[in-house]
Amino acid sequence: MLTKLLTLETIQLEEHVANWQEAITLAAQPLVDNQSIRREYIGAMIASVEAFGPYIVIAPLVALPHARPEEGALKVGVSLLKLNQSVNFSNDSEHEVNLLIVLSATDNSSHIGVLTALSELLGDEEIIRSIIMAESKSEIIQIIQSINLTGV
């Protein structure tokens, strides 16, 4: 499923962003465009980080922004933003992020396959490093397709 959701349209590469709020907004835009989420989902993701801190930084250099299904999720979706210059989600260097993977789910179970695949991908530092070093959307897709992910 992950390889079907991460496409040229849902992957973005940028040099840098002004702050983590802009990073989340930009990372989620493809899901607004393909009608996986409503715009208020973006606000809910930002509000959640403001309320609970940088809990979405789930691995070194990686954040997984998401919100509750009722906050504007329309269908299961995933988008990826790769930043060449990291953005910090706090004053702690542990919260520097180069990859934002936005997840949209319509209920508590429909996205389990995607989460399984993401956890396998994110558990491999070499794969993360390869994606961060990638210079094109096609290269990122090839990296993801080359991995035998259980949840795919």
Considering only CA atoms, which of 46, 103, 104, 101 is closest in space to residue 70? Answer: 104
β-sheet bridge partners, residue 57: 63
Look up residue 88 and give its two tokens. Answer: 């910090």
Active-site residue flag, 16:
no
Q: How far apart are CA 89 and CA 77, in angstroms?
A: 23
Residue 38's CB is within 10 A of a number of other CB atoms, namely 16
Q: Which of 16, 66, 95, 111 is catalytic?
A: 66
Residue 45 has what DSSP assignment?
H
Residues annotated as catalytic (active site), given as ranges:
66
